[in-house]
Amino acid sequence: MEIPVKAGPNGLVQLDSYSIHWLREQLRLGCDMSTSVETLRTKGYSDEAILAGIEAIRPRGDAIALGVTEPPLLKRAPATLHRVESDKLQLYTLENFLNERECAKVIALASHHLRPSTLSYASKDAEFRTSTTADLCHLKSPVASQIDDKICRTMGIRAEYSEGIQAQRYGVGQQFKPHWDFFTPDTQTFRRLAGLRGNRTWTFMVYLNDVEEGGATRFTRIDHAVKPKAGTAVLWNNLLPDGTPNDETMHCGEPVLAGQKIIITKWFRVHGDGPLFHT
C-alpha cells in the first residue's frame, strides 16, 4: 500500500490518517514492524511522529487475562474435536473443518501466489524450511476472507486477536525442521514481530489435501504425529497458562515422500482490541 507524503512547514511531525490506517493494517497482518518503521522514515516522518502513531494504534487487550487458554471451541467440544492425550500441551484435531470444495478453492488461489518460505530468525541450515508460501491475507480475495473468518468463528476468538492466514505448499523432499511457533522473549525477533501484538497463543492449521506419503506434522517432544487428511485442522496452544512459551509445542513438518502437501495456517496473538471472544 503506497503511503502519501504530506509536507508541512516543520517537516512530517505527525502521521496523517492514511498512514495511521496503513500502520494499523501492517500490525494486524503480523508484519515485521521494524520494516514498517523504515518505510515511514523513507516517507519523511520523524521518529517522534512514528512513535506517536504506534502508540495510537497499540492494542490494549490481553488474551491471557481474558481466558484464551479455554476458547469457546473447547467449551463447545463438538464431536469432531479430539484432544491428543498429553499433560504437556493443549493439542487437538478437528475433523471435517473444511469440505472438499472449500479446500479446492484455497488450493487454486494459493497456487498463483507462492513464494519461497522464510524464517523469522537466522539459520545456517538451508534445508531447515524448504516449502513455498502464499500470503493469502494480503489478497483481496473473498475465498481467503471467508476461510479466515471461519477459523476465527470456529475458535470463537475475534480476528482482532489474530494474524492473517497463510498457505504453504510442500513438494517431494520439502520439509520444516523442528521449531516453535512462538517467539522467544527478550530477543530481537520478539521485539520485531511481537513487541506490539505479544506472542502467538493458538496455532490453527488445516490440511487441504491428502498426501500420498510423508508430510506428517510431528510434535517431537511428545513424539506424536498427525497425518495429513484433507479438511482436518490441527490446533494447539503455544503458551502455558501464565503466558510463557511452552517448549513442549516443538513440532516439524516431516518431508513429503510422494505427492504434495498444502496447508493453511493462522496464528492468534496475546494483544488485540476489544473483547477476545465472539459473543
Average pLDDT of the residues in 89-100: 98
Residue 113's region, left for phi above 0, alpha for psi from -120 to 50, else beta, is alpha
Expressed as residue numbers, the domain containing 92 is 62-272
* Percentage of the residues of the chain whose pLDDT score is greater than 70: 96
Nearest Cα to 162, choosing from 206, 113, 201, 106? 201
User: Same domain, yes or no, for 217 and 250?
Assistant: yes
The answer to whether residue 3 sits within a structural domain is: no
pLDDT attached to residue 5: 44
Single residue among 8, 40, 58 that ends a domain in this structure: 58
pTM beyond cutoff 0.85: yes
pLDDT attached to residue 178: 97
C-alpha cell at 116: 519461497
Single residue among 8, 39, 58 that ends a domain in this structure: 58
* Percentage of the residues of the chain whose pLDDT score is greater than 90: 88
User: Same domain, yes or no, for 51 and 162?
Assistant: no
User: Same domain, yes or no, for 70 and 206?
Assistant: yes
pLDDT band at residue 277 under the 50/70/90 scheme: very high
User: Same domain, yes or no, for 33 and 113?
Assistant: no
User: Same domain, yes or no, for 28 and 88?
Assistant: no
Q: What phi, psi does 162 have (nearest 5°)?
A: -145, 165
Length of the chain: 279
Count the Cβ atoms, other than its own, within 10 Å of residue 197: 23
Number of separate domains in the chain: 2
User: Same domain, yes or no, for 130 and 168?
Assistant: yes
User: Same domain, yes or no, for 71 and 122?
Assistant: yes
User: Same domain, yes or no, for 179 and 260?
Assistant: yes
DSSP secondary structure string for all residues of 86-115: -SS--EEEETTSS-HHHHHHHHHHHTTSEE
The answer to whether residue 233 sits within a structural domain is: yes
pLDDT tens digits for range 78-92 = 999 999 999 999 999
Average pLDDT of the residues in 37-64: 93
Weakest mean pLDDT among 21-35, 186-200, 224-238? 21-35
Average pLDDT of the residues in 189-210: 96
pLDDT tens digits for range 62-74 = 999 999 999 999 9
User: Same domain, yes or no, for 111 and 93?
Assistant: yes
CA–CA dist 3, 5 (Å, integer): 6
The answer to whether residue 192 sits within a structural domain is: yes
| Greatest C-alpha distance within the chain | 65
pLDDT attached to residue 11: 54
pLDDT attached to residue 30: 83
User: Same domain, yes or no, for 228 and 136?
Assistant: yes
> Which is it for strands 200-207 and 176-179: parallel, antiparallel or unpaired?
unpaired
The answer to whether residue 229 sits within a structural domain is: yes
The answer to whether residue 279 sits within a structural domain is: no
User: Same domain, yes or no, for 48 and 75?
Assistant: no
User: Same domain, yes or no, for 34 and 78?
Assistant: no
